[in-house]
Amino acid sequence: NVVPVNLMPLRERKEDIPPLVEHIIFRLNQIFGREVKGIALGALEVLLDYAWPGNIRELENVLGRAIINMRPQEVVIESGHLPLMESRADENRLSQSISQELQPLEKTLAEAERNAITRSLEDTGGNRQKAAQMLGISLRSLYYKMGRHGIK
């Protein structure tokens, strides 16, 4: 006696993500003994941009890792707590832009690199050392790439 239940994938139900996030944070607070109040708009946008091949279970795991990686005094999940998600969302945006208008690979990669550097500098308030760490490159490489892309 099995009744099949067909649900649309999470990527097709983006409007469900904010209430799911709220519920999952509430549950994870109980599990981890935390008092996380919610999620920043930038972090929510990262979650909304992601394709969610793992559906709700993947969303739970991502939020759980974000809470574990937060400092005890932090009460809001920021996009910096989701570094892996940011790169995946950027990959999704990049693949969408590639499929919409095919450009030479070199130009596409340069745009993606410039966007990643600009975003990391914005997320760190202009702190180049933290931006380099966020990008997983040396400070020297960051300066070189900033110069190449004309980023001040």
pLDDT tens digits, one per residue of 74-125: 999 998 888 665 555 555 555 555 455 556 777 777 888 888 898 889 888 9
**pTM reported for the whole predicted model:** 0.55
* pLDDT above 70 for 7: yes
Q: What is the CATH class of 103-152?
A: mainly alpha
- CA quadruple 109, 50, 81, 35: dihedral, nearest 10: 170
Q: What percent of the chain has pLDDT over 90?
A: 38
State which fold the 14-82 domain adopts: Helicase, Ruva Protein; domain 3 (1.10.8)
- 14-82 and 103-152: identical CATH topology: no
The model's pLDDT over 24-81, given as tens digits with 9 standing for 90+, comes to 999 999 988 999 999 999 999 999 988 888 788 889 999 998 998 888 899 999 988 8
* pLDDT above 70 for 13: yes
Burial letters for 20-45: b for 16+ Cβ neighbours within 10 Å, e otherwise?
bbeebbeebeeeeebebeebeebbbe
Would you kindly state where each structural domain of the chain is located, as residue ranges? 14-82, 103-152
